[in-house]
Structure 1
């Protein structure tokens, strides 16, 4: 019987436990996938800890993967058994050898994109796409600040923003991560361990600050991010690896006529034409070489707990995948 990683209660990485799981036959509008690679993301940690509540327990977490269609349910058009596909969407259930998933959220993979790469870039890459092109579009000449610049989303954001003509500033936690960010489009990596970053941002920008800041860290970076914004700048909070931002008064934004956004990828991909457009833009920029994707770190599906521990402990760079 196929294996999956089940959680019966929320908590630390130790709650991730292997178990037998047969998802059954696909229902209307569904496909059954044999998964070949599964993306590991911070949203999985939020689900595991209960920060983002799941519909119920026990549950299988995970929202990103790649594989092969094994069967299609009634009413499914455009997909057939044998198709290579990838996805990044609710509902959870990716941490499994086989799963059922909504056909409307499946994207066929071009030959140029391998399964490991697909499972590592669907969620992070489409996040970079909507941040740069839809939530807070950038233009050539902008100063852009990317937090966690050596992380999975950060490396993609830095390269893509640089490709669009921006000057990219990035925060990292170590010298090694600074070197990695520098090699991936970040013009000015800032090591923030033990200190802030606003003064250095102002120095780099001649006192003007950044027109756009992309922040997946949350609580620990918010105050300095606000200080680092240019007048009429946009702060996009798309994650909270350090914890949620404390409530703020709208008047705080008036000091710089700033705009604060808290977008969610799945709202942007809810309509299939938008999903296909965004995924297509991602595949194109990767296939062209403008955005280079390093092979992700690979963990066995049974080692999901170690993958979570390494990710939370900031012992990783780039992306992680689980391999059934």
Structure 2
């Protein structure tokens, strides 16, 4: 960032100005809020789910409420605290910060975090920014294991099936192993993603669609946990292979799982749910997993780029040519 823009408190940002219209612009830096911290963005991940959905939406507020055009996307952020709001405690300039958070405008050189409303973690100085940016998604997946009642069933589970092997599905494959589930199965339509799932610890990986359900039914095999990251309505198929009293983790967007709750309860099946409190409880464990390499998030990254590369990167993700893209704005 050049000195003129630094002096003028301006920054570069990729701005969504309408459906499918992304423009690299000079905009004002966020004005510090009493509860906020101004963050210089080191790295930001492109979210394969929500960022793509917002870009393609006729109205972005149907995906992110209260975020109309023009809007700066990006919420998988690692950065350095530059300024601290008057009401913020525990953070100071120079701290590295990441975590699970609401939309924060990370497709820019600077953004604003609100620590009181996120699961923030202090990033170690030796952790690569690209990996730290993926703490957001890693906390977001792990938080579903935390709720009362769920973790007990997870720890006693003997098998799990992960549907969909984008970034979240790959993380779930490894997280299931870290939580002690002996047999982790997975499925996806794309060969490269199936190969990576084996690296992440899957015992068996099926082609996507209906294949995993057909194979399990033919074997007479059930699983104790099903993690759905696909966003497709697979409820009937899932119920055919899920052990009574099992757990469903509904990570994929696009399915109204709450409308299925009564049906699931009839079978003693727990539908996991998680929010900010669960994310905060999960965050220290996730940070340790990533720091020690037990959760090798670097394996997910198939492309890096700059702000100007975001439109091409989104197209690559749309076409499933990449698994995870990380942007370095500065």
Of residues 36-45 and 22-31 in structure 1, the stretch that sits farther from structure 2 once superposed is: 22-31
Distance across 2 between alignment mates of 1:291 and 1:250: 31
> Residues of 1 paired with 2:65 and 2:36: CA distance?
21
CA 1:258–1:238 in structure 2 vs 1: closer, same or farther (change >3 Å)? same
| Structure 1 residue 186, shift from structure 2 partner | 0.7
Map of 1:126 onto structure 2? 139
Q: Which residue of 1 is the match for residue 54 of structure 2? A: 47
2:247–2:269: 8 Å Cα contact kept in structure 1? Answer: yes
Instruction: Summarize deviations over 1:279-322 as a string: whole Å, max 9, x none.
Output: 210111222332222252212212222222222222222x3211
Deviation for aligned residue 1:7: 1.5
Long gaps (5+) in structure 2: 1-9
**Structure 1 position 231, deviation (Å):** 1.2
Structure 1 residue 153, shift from structure 2 partner: 1.5
**2:28 counterpart SS class:** coil
Of the structure 1 ranges 111-120 and 252-261, higher mean CA displacement relative to structure 2 is found in 252-261
Partner of 1:294 in structure 2?
298
- How big is each residue's C-alpha offset from its partner over 1:198-219, in whole Å with a ceiling of 9 and x where there is no partner? 122345xx52411111111122
Shift of 1:112: 4.3
The answer as to whether partners of 1:30 and 1:101 remain within 8 angstroms in 2 is: yes
| Residue of structure 1 equivalent to 2:267 | 256
- Counterparts of residues 186-201 of structure 1 (less than 5 Å): 186-192=202-208, 195-201=210-216
Residue 127 of structure 2, aligned match among 113, 127, 141: 113
> Is 1:268 paired with 2:278?
yes
Partner deviation per Cα, 1:165-203 (whole Å, 9 max, x = no partner): 21101011123322211111111101125x432122345
- 1:7-86 aligned at under 5 Å gives the runs 7-9=16-18, 11=19, 14-41=20-47, 42-48=49-55, 49=57, 50=60, 51-55=62-66, 56-86=68-98
Structure 1 contact 146–168 (Cα < 8 Å) conserved = yes
Measure, in 2, the Cα distance between the counterparts of 1:303 and 1:30. 28
Equivalent pairs counted in the alignment come to 306
In 1, Cα distance between the equivalents of 2:246 and 2:164? 20
Q: Is the 8 A contact 2:121 2:284 kept in 1?
A: no
Describe the shift of the 1:299–1:227 C-alpha distance in structure 2 as closer, same or farther (beyond 3 A). farther
Contact 1:146–1:215 (CA under 8 A) maintained in structure 2: yes
Spell out the pairing of 1:169-318 with structure 2 (5 A cutoff).
169-192=185-208, 195-203=210-218, 207-240=220-253, 243-245=254-256, 248=259, 252-253=263-264, 256-261=267-272, 263-266=273-276, 268-269=278-279, 275=280, 277-294=281-298, 296=301, 297-317=303-323
How far, CA to CA, are the matches of 2:92 and 2:258 in structure 1? 48
Equivalent residue number for residue 155 of structure 1: 170
**8 Å Cα contact 1:117/1:293 also seen in 2:** yes
Tell me the C-alpha RMSD between the 2 structures.
2.4
Question: Normalized against structure 1, the TM-score is what?
Answer: 0.85
**The one of 87, 103, 117 aligned to 2:115:** 103
Rounded Cα–Cα distance in structure 1 between residues aligned with 2:75 and 2:297: 20
